[in-house]
Amino acid sequence: MLYCNNEFEAVSAFTGEELVGSRHNIVRHPDMPPPVYEHTWQCLKAEINFARSTDCFILHL
């Protein structure tokens, strides 16, 4: 990771010092199924907006 804002720190429960410079999977939940993680990563690489895309939306309840 190259940057994180205060909100991302708050929801991830990591500090900015822990996040910046780390690999992206530091925030991956261990129970996330590998296919869901792969789909999410593909959407991120394609720069799909998660807030508006029905193809790439993960809801945390």
* pLDDT exceeds 70 at position 61: no
Full residue range of the structural domain in which residue 39 is found: 31-61
pLDDT, tens digit, 9 for 90 and up, residues 7-50? 888 888 899 999 999 987 888 778 888 888 788 778 777 776 55
- Residue 36 sits in the same domain as residue 55: yes
- Residue 49 sits in the same domain as residue 60: yes
- Residue 40 sits in the same domain as residue 55: yes
Number of structural domains found in the chain: 2
- Residue 37 sits in the same domain as residue 22: no
CA angle, corner 40, sides to 35 and 41, nearest 5?
100
The tokens describing 55, both together, are 């193809």
- Residue 24 sits in the same domain as residue 45: no
The tokens describing 41, both together, are 């990563």
- Residue 36 sits in the same domain as residue 16: no
